[in-house]
Structure 1
Amino acid sequence: MDYVDTPSSPHTYAKKSIHMDIPFSYFLPTLILLLFFTFIFIYILSRKTSSPNLPPSPPWLPVIGNLHQVLGKDIHRTLSNLSHKYGPVMLLHLGTQPFLVISSTEMATQVLKTHDQQTCTRPYSRGSKRLSFNYMDVAFSPYGDHWREMRKVLVSEFLGAKRSRMFKNVMEIEMEGLIRSLSLQPANTIVKLDEKLLHLVNDVVCKVALGKSYRDEVFNGKTTKEIVDETLVMLGGSFSDIFPRFGWILDGLSGWNRRLEKCFSDFDGFLQMVLDEHLDQNARKASDHENDLVDDCISRLTTDEMKGLLTNVFNGAIDTSAITMAWAMSEIIKNPRILQKLQNEIRMCVGGKPRVDESDITKMTYLKMVVKETLRLHPPAPFLMTRECVSQCQIGGYDVLPGTKVMINSWAIGRDPRIWEESPTEFYPERFEKIQVDFGGKHFEMVPFGGGRRACPGYNSAISTVEFTIANLLYFFDWETLEKKEDLDMEEEGHQLIRRKTPLCVVPIKHNW
């Protein structure tokens, strides 16, 4: 029986109640919204889990990054102050390049020890590439087989036992000359001690490495020191190091390219002159001297490798030691208590002999504390040489991406109040009676010589040179200043190396035995 679909038929409503469905178009908007928010949630969740956990960073501007916060200032102090706010692992953008700034012992340990392999190469730089003769050296070359081979040569031929004996002999001769020249000066003569210390170290290093001082040599109208100082300036970097895409334009417009080429031409010409003199066999046979570094390496290295090695000798072994000596003598003379205590130890250990022997210095425990305190408070280089991260790792719980440059603030680490609790900015050598510090890479409470694979291999030689020099100066002379000792000017200057801003003008007084 068929039902008639009319309003009057009661079966009409029965049929509708059984077969009526909610239209699909009613569900469609709800379904779309549900899917949309689901996708958004999944996207946000995936972004959150996949985005790197970068270190904290000060606010930075487009293109220039944080340059406006560091240019024209004492960068080591500025970054130390910023680390107090943003932490010991801090990310800076200098130009378009990311830099990780490390300012604590714990974080330095992670970089130099835990993740040394991931951060042990050097970043590319036009200046360092040119002045290292296309990375033929040790200090600036990327981590790899060539670096290993060149480091072996440097350690065995310049820092090994054979050369150490030569260092000792030359150092004793040059020290006797310095003591004699100071002794023969009229009473109350003022000397610029930091200048004399620089001449001393230069003469010792050059005679061991090159056979003679070259201090008074003039090449292209410049002294050797002026040529070497200019290389240090050019190694400081250029616009292209922080703006890789367009910095080369700024380097050209600013005249940096011309200055680099002039610097390279002078430096290369000087080094070639040195090599030519060593290759002149007739001249070498006529001179009666012990083989130097160039003599022993010139036949086994290429010309560029030999020049790259000498670049490291000039830039790494002379100024740093002389600066450390000048700071040490400044702090000693400024503090009469330390001066008297140290002189008493030195003169007791030497015992009135006419010269200071190496064996005497091994007994001078307070002298070793003074040298450590000098390197803690006045590391000659405020930052270790910049490293570059080659593979992603975590420092302090933060992700460090490949290509990030790593700067370790040695100056800030040596003044960290959490480690150096007793007046960290005060010169107080006695603190090392409680704190043991090893420069060989076991401890990172202070890192003047770096650590890990790229640590300075010459730290033993440098410390021995500083200790021997200070022991002699304080054994033979008493020291006076023009003003009150406590008022001695200790202002710093420099970026790559931190020197005294004013000469160390003092009066040596021959000790009356």
Structure 2
Amino acid sequence: MNPTLLVAIPIISFFFLLIKRRKVISQKAALLPSPPRLPFIGNLHQLGSTPHRSLYKLSKQLGPLMLLHLGTVRALVVSCPKIAEEVIRNNDLLFATRPKSKLTDVLSCNKNDVAFAPYGETWRQMKKLAKTHLLSSQRVKSMSFDRAEEVSLLLEKVADAASRGNGVICLTEILNSYVTDVITRVVLGSWITKEKKTLLSELSHDSAALFYEFFFEDFFPNLKWLDVLWGSNRKLENYKKKWDALFEEIIKNHGHESKEVNRKNNTYFMGTLLDLQNDSNLGFVLTNDHIRGLTMNMINAGIDTTFATLDWCMAELVRNPEMLKKVKDELRKVAHGEDMISEELLGQLSYLKVFIKEVIRLHPPGPLLLPRESMQECQIQGYNIPKKTRLVLNAWAFGRDESYWEAPEQFKPERFFDCTVDYKGKDFYFIPFGVGRRICPGMDFSMAIIEIALANLMHRFDWSLPSGITIEDMNMDEGGEIISFRKQKLELVPIASKVN
């Protein structure tokens, strides 16, 4: 549980008698299964350090549909794919908006993005821009040169790091650097310096950590002054200042290199958006806040989710030697002696693809999907759900539902052979990237970065744990953040493979 909240509970309790109690919304809503709550703070103390696990445990006691009271916020938690399907098929539009929060206002540049903007025309325009100029299948394919070049640099970094000392490398840090390099290159341009890339990686990680910073204003509006007292406002303001300074430099650079291209004649995403500001046929006024909001989405969401998944993939491969061998055998068959695996060959790597699916099932990058909020009263499972109720879908729980997955706790990539289950939103028991109107539009973009890197890391090197470390010593727990990072950094010994 957040230490700030633990310290604040006595203070909040003191103010309990001074604050008017909320009205009961409706008799039917009150009958929803709900855990016992403390005065004023409700169920906030029950979220724990890993909320997806805490909510899963509560659902085993109360059922797959339950109501939590988080201060003044009502949160409807769904832990069952069947109910999630009912909600989305019947009420996707009603739950198409995002709740307002102090943090997301900053991350969206005042609701001018695609991830956190409320449902409406601005959100539709931002989604269209992101899909058209960065995330469409055609655009993702056109970036293959950028990915290939960055993968080549990744392999060089691994070899260089392994040549020093005892041959043990911190692969987690190298993977984070690779993902940061790819995403900043296609979003901000190849001019971004190493120092700026480091800053962007830090900002991405900071955004994930800020989701677990407790802002009193979000849950107790009358106590928003405590955000000043506890320093939460200062942290958020410092975060915003770093982004503002970075954006000013990027925009200034664009004035000097507005036509930056690579060999495939692709302009970078933010540069394209800045050029579109002068396009009279665009149909709406594209402001700097729109551009900043979209760019922050691509950096903050793209780096951490992609890197976390790639890190989990490598950890699971080393933890499952028989699967690692299957991946390498498959690569050997399709490579035909080539030094690198090209993207054209990825379609032939059926085992690698089901392996990645299984990783995402057990370790979804966002265990709890970003919350939605009801725009008007509706009914779910016979219960009246009031307007402004938050909807939380526990994707982590969906991947462990025994009604849909045989032996769900076991890591078995073969379960995806000869089946059509995919992560693109049609199978509600496998929605790591979301579902419905608010599904993540960047899944193809992310998977392209993961597949080409994983294929070449496996093709170029043989991997083992450092001397004295066994598979049983590997900590496979995830950290307590909105992104499911592996808690323990992955240290491995790579040895160059013989290419036949």
Q: TM-score range by the shorter chain?
A: 0.7 to 0.9
**Could you report, residue by residue, the CA deviation over 1:116-154 in whole angstroms, capped at 9, with x for unpaired residues?**
011110001122113321111110000001100110000
Match in the other structure for 1:169: 145
Could you say if the C-alpha distance between residues 498 and 285 of structure 1 is closer, same or farther in structure 2, counting changes exceeding 3 Å? Answer: closer
Report the structure number with the largest CA radius of gyration: 1
Q: Residue 198 of structure 1 aligns to a residue in which SS?
A: helix
- Matched residue type, 2:153: G
Match in the other structure for 1:304: 289
**Could you report, residue by residue, the CA deviation over 1:300-344 in whole angstroms, capped at 9, with x for unpaired residues?**
221111101111011111111111010011011111111111111
User: Equivalents in 2 of 1:506, 1:213: separation in Å?
Assistant: 31
Question: Which stretch of the first structure deviates more once superposed, 400-409 or 127-136?
Answer: 127-136
User: Equivalents in 2 of 1:100, 1:201: separation in Å?
Assistant: 34
After TM superposition, give the deviation of residue 191 of structure 1 in Å.
0.9
CA contact (8 A) 1:202 1:213 kept: no
Q: How many residues align?
A: 460
TM-score between both structures, scaled by the size of structure 1? 0.85
Match in the other structure for 1:508: 494
After TM superposition, give the deviation of residue 434 of structure 1 in Å.
5.5
After TM superposition, give the deviation of residue 227 of structure 1 in Å.
3.0
**Superposition map of 1:233-382 within 5 A:** 233-236=209-212, 238-244=215-221, 246-280=222-256, 290-299=266-275, 300=277, 301-382=286-367
CA contact (8 A) 2:158 2:174 kept: no
**Alignment RMSD, CA only?**
2.3
**Superposition map of 1:170-209 within 5 A:** 170-184=146-160, 185-186=162-163, 189-209=167-187
- Matched residue type, 2:432: P
Out of 104, 111, 126, the position equivalent to 1:128 is 104
CA contact (8 A) 1:119 1:388 kept: yes
Q: Residue 406 of structure 1 aligns to a residue in which SS?
A: strand
TM-score between both structures, scaled by the size of structure 2? 0.87
After TM superposition, give the deviation of residue 213 of structure 1 in Å.
6.6
Structure 1 gaps of 5+ residues are 1-46
User: Equivalents in 2 of 1:453, 1:371: separation in Å?
Assistant: 25
Match in the other structure for 2:10: none
After TM superposition, give the deviation of residue 280 of structure 1 in Å.
2.9
Q: Residue 92 of structure 1 aligns to a residue in which SS?
A: strand
After TM superposition, give the deviation of residue 155 of structure 1 in Å.
0.3
User: Equivalents in 2 of 1:67, 1:328: separation in Å?
Assistant: 33
Q: Residue 224 of structure 2 aligns to a residue in which SS?
A: helix
- Matched residue type, 1:211: G
Q: Residue 117 of structure 1 aligns to a residue in which SS?
A: coil
Out of 461, 483, 488, the position equivalent to 1:497 is 483
**Could you report, residue by residue, the CA deviation over 1:66-87 in whole angstroms, capped at 9, with x for unpaired residues?**
112224x221111100001111
- Matched residue type, 2:61: K
Match in the other structure for 1:464: 448
Question: Post-superposition, which runs of at least 4 consecutive aligned residues in structure 1 deviate over 6 A?
Answer: 285-289
CA contact (8 A) 1:100 1:406 kept: yes
User: Equivalents in 1 of 2:336, 2:240: separation in Å?
Assistant: 50
Match in the other structure for 1:413: 398
Could you say if the C-alpha distance between residues 206 and 377 of structure 1 is closer, same or farther in structure 2, counting changes exceeding 3 Å? Answer: same
User: Equivalents in 1 of 2:485, 2:193: separation in Å?
Assistant: 20
Q: Residue 58 of structure 1 aligns to a residue in which SS?
A: coil
Q: Residue 370 of structure 2 aligns to a residue in which SS?
A: coil
**Superposition map of 1:153-164 within 5 A:** 153-160=129-136, 163-164=139-140
Could you say if the C-alpha distance between residues 264 and 181 of structure 1 is closer, same or farther in structure 2, counting changes exceeding 3 Å? Answer: closer
Q: Residue 292 of structure 2 aligns to a residue in which SS?
A: helix
Structure 2 gaps of 5+ residues are 1-23, 278-285
2:33 maps to 1:56: yes
CA contact (8 A) 1:215 1:224 kept: no
Match in the other structure for 2:429: 445
After TM superposition, give the deviation of residue 163 of structure 1 in Å.
3.2
Match in the other structure for 2:94: 118
- Matched residue type, 1:270: L
User: Equivalents in 2 of 1:217, 1:194: separation in Å?
Assistant: 19
User: Equivalents in 2 of 1:432, 1:286: separation in Å?
Assistant: 40
Could you say if the C-alpha distance between residues 287 and 496 of structure 1 is closer, same or farther in structure 2, counting changes exceeding 3 Å? Answer: closer
Could you say if the C-alpha distance between residues 63 and 342 of structure 1 is closer, same or farther in structure 2, counting changes exceeding 3 Å? Answer: same
- Matched residue type, 1:70: L
